[in-house]
Amino acid sequence: MRIKSLLLGGLAGAALAVPAFAADMAYPVKAAPIAYVPVFTWTGVYLGGNVGYGWGDGSAPWGNYLAYYYGGWDSAALSGGSDPSGWSGGVQIGYNYQLENNVVLGIEADFNFGALEDKLSYTAADGGDPTFQDFGSITSKIEAFGTVRGRVGYAMDRFLPYFTGGLAWANVKVDENWTSYVDGAYIPGLSGTASRSETLWGWTIGGGVEYAVTDNWTVKAEYLYADLGDINWDGAANTKIDMTMQTLKAGVNYKF
């Protein structure tokens, strides 16, 4: 009987000890999932718009031009120039590819409408009998321009400084009008107008900075210098206008 009591007591103690031992055992805990934050990349097609200011330099031998037509007159003078400047706006489309070393290679084309304009005015007089007077002006305009360029930059996460260069073009228009007077009377037959419009092609080089505000939207600032060649304004007077221009633009792009 004593042995039976001891066995029953031992079994009861063991039964009580099992839950306590189980409570002390360590169970493996599943780790919380780690949130994956994707690394930003400049690779992709983008489309955007820009606004800016441009200033041109239309070098031409205007003194020789006046001398050709008014060489025998008593006086001829001019003022102003053919350096069109003004505001512009346009669109751009391009593609970037970011290498593993963070170098970004790209290509971009842009098209811009411009309101770049400058006016040269001249007067000529001959005090003979009868007297002659001419009053004229020559207006130079850049009505539209664009580029097709390569881009090379270095990505600093969302910040991208870059160099760029390639082809440039511009629609350049030159208008002249003059009025003639003989002994103070307006002579329509001696007055007139002349106009020439031409698309010039040349090269451009520049640089800029771009920043990704979000994964899709970027903002940028860019400077370009373009040599557009010349427009043959007057073959008889051997007058060509050699046109260059500079632009400073701010833009926004959407990256697909």
| Mean pLDDT of all residues in 98-114 | 97
Per-residue pLDDT band for 22 (boundaries 50, 70, 90) equals very low
CATH of domain 41-255: 2.40.160.20
pLDDT digits (tens, 9 = 90+) for 37-81: 568 999 999 999 999 999 999 999 999 999 999 999 999 999 999
Per-chain mean pLDDT for the chain? 89
Q: Is the pLDDT of residue 32 over 80?
A: no
The whole-angstrom separation of Cα 161 and Cα 199 is 31
Q: What is the pTM of this model?
A: 0.82
pLDDT at 136 over 90: yes
Residue 175 CA to residue 75 CA, distance in Å, equals 23
- The CA distance from 256 to 233, in Å, is 45
Residue 222, pLDDT > 80, answer yes
Domain extent listing, the chain: 41-255
In the predicted model, is pLDDT for residue 2 greater than 90?
Answer: no
* The token pair that represents 108 in the structure block: 């971009």
Q: Is the pLDDT of residue 9 over 90?
A: no
Look at residues 59, 61, 57 and name the one whose alpha carbon lies nearest to residue 84.
57
